[in-house]
Structure 1
Amino acid sequence: MSATITLPTSGVYSLANLRLHRSHVSGVEGLVFDADGFALTRIDVAGGNIIAIGGYTAQPVDDAGIDCRGAIAFPAFVDCHTHIDKGHIWGRKPNPDGSFPGALTAVGEDRAARWTAEDVERRMEFSLSCAYAHGTKALRTHLDSLPPQEDISWPVFETVRERWKGRIELQAACLFGIDTARDEAWFNRLADIVARHRGVLGAVTYMVPDLDALLDRMFRKAIDLGLDLDFHADETDDVEAISLDRIADAALRHGFEGRILVGHCCSLARQPDDTIKATLDKVARAGLSVVSLPMCNMYLQDRRADATTPRWRGVTLLHEMAARGINVCVSSDNTRDPFYAYGDLDVLEVYREATRILHFDHPVGEWPATIANNPARAMGMADAGSLTPGGKADLVLFRGRSLTELLSRPESRRTLIRDGKLIDATVPDYQVLDDLMER
């Protein structure tokens, strides 16, 4: 397929000779999938919607059809765990040693000194422009919400969300250390801010002595306000870090009916097999979704002060989770900040690296769903993450015709279709943030 295609101005056309993965297609019968789960198909589009998806027959493409020459297409991406409020501060506040404590200190110092409404808004805009140019349709960001930042970042997010409406559907979850919720008056005020901005109640969990009581406080508040929950859990190699298990306990204890997304869960991979089994069985019963952040966790976890090679990958047990029917995702996490010096909110990059780090291959199975319908389900979005007749024609068309072709190159010349129309795939220049980068 060429770098770009031309679509008719009428908005009525067909994409012929196109490969779709079975995990990305719903409401369609009769497709024939190969060993990797791809079927050669034809998508008919009218008025910005998919009106039909059908099996491809070896016939010449008619006048209304655009020959995609066997290339793969994904639904527009869903990125369910990001931090666009702290993105792109590396230039002015790098991590001194690449460690997790170094990241915490650097971000805390930068936030206290620099995170004005203008600074946060401009960096959010830059991040979203990157995500949009790479093909993202929906994104959840965490917002650092320690005082006084909750009064700065949440109004900014509301403004940015409205500005991006129709391009990227945005969600936000508050972020603070769960021990801070001991201050009940402050926590209640924050929860009201989150509810007012139609957000998600979130926190970083630690193995503090009163963890269960603090989780109960969060669950009760989420139930009272009708909020979903989102936790950072066990981002460490410490086998004693078992807050994923405690979160599942709390969900079952409260009979929680909302959505719960838990990120990281790194320490689970270090725990004894019987502990792992008991925890995952409980997570499955509680209906939690889990997102792994493979690039950021590879960067931070097991980084050694003595300059020796890391011994483990830092990712959680997605294969074991998926085998139990747990909804699993992968996502971008941090971009160009002290927690991760790299990244560009390119979900294809996340999937490519996840395939290598987490072995999303041999067989490919349903793993492509981890960047599409799985995160859409975790975020409660019925109109994203899949390709279905009657749904929006929101696609990312690649040049690769097989998984190995797709994941062997950056695919920087991908073609983006939103509402049935081509959109600009130009990423913003880093220079637009230069005036914010003075140290």
Structure 2
Amino acid sequence: MTQLFLVRDVAVPASLLARPDHFGGERRDGLLSGDLLVQDGRVLGFTATPPREARVLSGGGRLVLPALAEPHLHLDKAFTLGRLSGIGRDLLSAIRAQEADKANWTDEDLRHRASRAMEELYAAGVGLARSHVDWGDGEDPAGTPRAWDVLAEVAQEWRGRVTLQLSCLPEIDLFAEPETGQRIAEAVRRRDGVLGAWCLGHPRRHAGFTEVFRLADRYGLHLDFHVDEGAGVELDGLEIIARERARTGFEGPVLCGHAVSLMDAAPDRLSNLLESMARGGIALCALPTTNLFLQSRGSGTPDRRGITRLVEASQAGVATCLGTDNVQDAFYPLGRHDPLGTLALAVPALHLAAPLGDHLPLVSTQAAQAMGAAPVFVDRAPAAALLLAEARDVAGLLSCQPRRKRLPEFIATAGR
């Protein structure tokens, strides 16, 4: 038997519709609003003539969104702040402080903290997330860390609610040793993970990137890099990645996070690099929390923003997204796992222009594509992949990051 529901008085950001001109409703301030028809668990669009047999529910002016996507997390580090010291210095100090805390990373500790993070992600309406995992096991820098297996178990526990991808995070120099790189790639493949690395002027980075692209192609793995997370025109990891992509013809998704050094790139160099990234389909993820907190840090107020050039990248045709990065650890002492909170910070940090709804794809459809997944648009999406947020406009959505319910949950509980 066909199930029909009419959710009266809701709005959908036009940026989150694949075909906004075919969805119906009235346009206002970047939104389409009206009465939403849901048939057999799928959204059909706004309708002016609802079927008489439809069950009518009041949407109360809520916003309808697709499930959010979170491309850059560190669940192995999350919620460790209370047992750390020396916080609030620079990137390398944060790395040292977090490294010292690994003595506390028991299976129980990792599972507890990661599960807490997953609960926050689910409450925020995230359907797809990616966590990086520090690599190395004790004295073996290429050894699979226990956190990798524990987080894989947590991902399995949350399957069907939040899809959690895992990306390894060794230093790029490890891949310069072919046998070492192969061990890492094989461990990643066994968990259907993402092949990643971090590069900050490492001496063997050229050989490392050559090998990591070869391994990704051999094993059919996606690539994700922490790259050039610092000021200085000498950082060139992003350029090496662009050249390797072009040289190898690698066809899988490549996502690059941080790239703070783009702030120091001369205009011609910046233009050429962004053009190479756009041509090669290399996505860029900005991470405002950690980068604003740690970059260009001195004894007083910073006089510049320590963050990548996301606006210029987008204008150049580069696929762009935003990530939450670290939450309550050595790299960032605040935060929660909520992409809308990240977008709210990015508005002033990156001078994102109005209308604000145009930037919602940075934490939803574009973020999913950057992760190699199919984007979820509101048009004809399964109801289970949609959210109702208790906000009447995007400014309200980002200002207070209101409660969100999955559409089936809203339908099931409406009127009770």
Tell me the TM-score normalised to structure 2 length. Answer: 0.91
The answer on whether the counterparts of 1:173 and 1:199 sit within 8 Å (CA) in structure 2 is yes
More helix by share: 2
Give, in angstroms, the shift of residue 389 of structure 1.
1.0
Matched, 1:191 2:185: yes
Cα separation, partners in 2 of 1:423 and 1:51, compared to 1, 3 Å: closer
Matched, 1:139 2:129: yes
Residue deviations 1:256-277, cap 9 Å, x none?
1000000011110221111100
C-alpha distance in structure 2 between counterparts of 1:201 and 1:372, whole Å: 22
Give, in angstroms, the shift of residue 423 of structure 1.
11
Residue 322 of structure 1, aligned match among 314, 322, 347:
314
The answer on whether the counterparts of 1:22 and 1:33 sit within 8 Å (CA) in structure 2 is no
Cα separation, partners in 2 of 1:123 and 1:256, compared to 1, 3 Å: same
SS in 2 for 1:276: helix
Residue deviations 1:198-245, cap 9 Å, x none?
000000012234322210000001111110100001111122212111
Counterparts of 1:250-399 in structure 2, within 5 Å, are 250-304=244-298, 306=299, 308-364=300-356, 366-382=358-374, 384-399=375-390
The answer on whether the counterparts of 2:176 and 2:207 sit within 8 Å (CA) in structure 1 is no
The answer on whether the counterparts of 2:293 and 2:332 sit within 8 Å (CA) in structure 1 is yes
Aligned to 1:74: 65
C-alpha distance in structure 2 between counterparts of 1:118 and 1:179, whole Å: 31
Aligned to 1:100: 91
C-alpha distance in structure 2 between counterparts of 1:375 and 1:95, whole Å: 33
Could you tell which deviates more after superposition, 314-323 or 131-140? 314-323
C-alpha distance in structure 2 between counterparts of 1:14 and 1:94, whole Å: 54
C-alpha distance in structure 2 between counterparts of 1:322 and 1:331, whole Å: 15
C-alpha distance in structure 2 between counterparts of 1:385 and 1:269, whole Å: 32
SS in 1 for 2:72: strand
Aligned to 1:157: 151
RMSD of equivalent CA atoms:
2.5
C-alpha distance in structure 1 between counterparts of 2:267 and 2:26, whole Å: 35
C-alpha distance in structure 2 between counterparts of 1:91 and 1:247, whole Å: 37
Matched, 1:404 2:395: yes
C-alpha distance in structure 2 between counterparts of 1:423 and 1:52, whole Å: 15
What is the aligned length?
A: 406
Cα separation, partners in 2 of 1:25 and 1:100, compared to 1, 3 Å: same
Cα separation, partners in 2 of 1:423 and 1:183, compared to 1, 3 Å: farther
Aligned to 2:199: 205
Q: Kindly, what percent of the aligned residue pairs are identical?
A: 31
Aligned to 1:173: 167
Give, in angstroms, the shift of residue 14 of structure 1.
2.4
C-alpha distance in structure 1 between counterparts of 2:401 and 2:369, whole Å: 27
Could you tell which deviates more after superposition, 61-70 or 345-354? 61-70
Give, in angstroms, the shift of residue 183 of structure 1.
3.4
Tell me the TM-score normalised to structure 1 length. Answer: 0.86
Cα separation, partners in 2 of 1:336 and 1:237, compared to 1, 3 Å: same
Give, in angstroms, the shift of residue 69 of structure 1.
3.3
Residue 127 of structure 1, aligned match among 102, 117, 124:
117
Residue deviations 1:96-146, cap 9 Å, x none?
3332122101111111x1122222122111110111112111100001112
Give, in angstroms, the shift of residue 71 of structure 1.
2.8
Give, in angstroms, the shift of residue 36 of structure 1.
3.9
The answer on whether the counterparts of 2:30 and 2:355 sit within 8 Å (CA) in structure 1 is no
Aligned to 1:244: 238
The answer on whether the counterparts of 2:78 and 2:328 sit within 8 Å (CA) in structure 1 is yes
Structure 2: unaligned runs, 5 residues or longer: none
Cα separation, partners in 2 of 1:36 and 1:327, compared to 1, 3 Å: farther
